Amino acid sequence: MKYKDLPEFPPLYIEPPNFSSVATIKVECRNHPKPRGRHALYLRCSSRPHSKLDVAQQLADAQALLAIGRGSIIKTFTEEEPLSDGKRPELEKAIAFCKAEGARIILGKIAGMRGGYRWLKRLHDEGIYFMGADDPTINRLDFYQIVWRENRRRDDIGRKIKQALAETKAQGTTLGGKRANASGLELGPAASAISRKQRALSRSLYTMSKIREIQHRGVTSLTGIATRLNQMKHPTPRGGQWSPAQVRAVIKRCEG
């Protein structure tokens, strides 16, 4: 079911998350379901002096959350931020652990989590129940509301952009335009194509000289020539092994 097929229902527990340009989540706490069962705890930390990632506070929030239910923590994963290439290797380990152990995940701090929507979707797609220690209302049960609101936000942005472009065009402004040196820009790709063709032809002629040597020694079949080229460690243009079809293509290019 796509989000557009969902009815426009009011939020059950949460205010719509504020997804900023860097894809972080800003939340506020209200009512939430009680955690039950075994959990992996995912903490975020940072060595930066002014970081707001307080590990002790995340642990306290997780303990307070578990105190109202009958849940327990069986393993803890700690992610060092800032991230490298936007990846979260510790979260990936936590996901694999939960899938293997049938456990759930408690996220120590969802607020301000870079790429938060993407990672919550990752947890949801893997079928792992998750809950935020700083805001337990962000959980797998309410995920479709988050998806619905995020897609509505993106649609609103696209609608505003289209409207602004239409108004600008109506005022007589030419959109896109044409560069004065457009013809000059085409010379680079054309020259590059000619250079690539010349290198390919030169490589084929060199390979053809090897093929003639092999034919002169009595090997005339395409399979035999390909085998001999491989034995001579003469590489293909991409560095692989020769095949009869490739040998035929070289002969046709040079003699055709």
- Banded pLDDT at 184 (limits 50, 70, 90): low
User: What CATH number does residue 90 fall under?
Assistant: 3.40.50.1390
**If you average pLDDT over residues 96-113, what whole number do you get?**
88
144, 197: one domain: no
Domain boundary among 122, 149, 176: 149
Q: What percent of the chain has pLDDT over 70?
A: 83
Residue 222, domain member (yes or no): yes
Its domain, for residue 210, covers 189-255
Binning pLDDT at 50, 70 and 90, where does residue 75 land?
A: very high
Q: Considering the domain boundaries, does residue 155 fall inside one?
A: no
What is the model's pLDDT at position 1?
47
What is the C-alpha separation between 170 and 8, in angstroms, rounded? 34
Question: Last residue of a domain, which of 97, 118, 149?
Answer: 149
Q: How far apart are CA 175 and CA 4, in angstroms?
A: 31
pLDDT, mean of residues 79-107: 89
Give CA 55 to chain center in angstroms. 27
Distance from C-alpha of 100 to C-alpha of 186, rounded to nearest angstrom = 55
SS3 letters for the chain? CCHHHCCCCCCCCCCCCCCCCCCCECCCCCCCCCCEEEEEEEEEEECCCCCCCCHHHHHHHHHHHHHCCEEEEEEEEEEEECCECCECHHHHHHHHHHHHHCCEEEECCCECCCCHHHHHHHHHHCCCCEEECCCCCCEHHHHHHHHHHHHHHHHHHHHHHHHHHHHHHHCCCCCCCCCCCHHHHCHHHHHHHHHHHHHHHHHHHHHHHHHHHHHHCCCCCHHHHHHHHHHCCCCCCCCCCCCHHHHHHHHHHHHC
Mean pLDDT value of segment 108-136: 84
Predicted pLDDT of residue 233: 87
Residue 63 and residue 129 in one domain: yes
Same domain, 12 and 121: yes
Statement to judge: residues 121 and 243 lie in one domain:
no
Q: Is residue 162 part of a domain?
A: no
Higher-scoring residue by pLDDT: 9, 106: 106
Q: What is the mean pLDDT of the chain?
A: 80
In a shared domain, residues 141 and 217: no
**Residue 125 lies inside a defined structural domain of this protein:** yes
| pLDDT range class, residue 185, cuts 50, 70, 90 | low
Position 256 scores a pLDDT of: 63
Confidence of residue 177 (pLDDT cuts 50, 70, 90): low
Is the C-alpha dihedral spanning 116, 120, 121, 123 positive or negative? positive
- How far apart CA 165 and CA 144 sit, in angstroms, is 32
Q: Where does a domain end: 149, 178, 199? A: 149
Domains in the chain, number = 2
Mean pLDDT of 37-55: 87
Distance in angstroms (rounded) separating the CA atoms of residues 6 and 144: 9
Q: What is the pLDDT of residue 22?
A: 38
The pLDDT of residue 94: 93
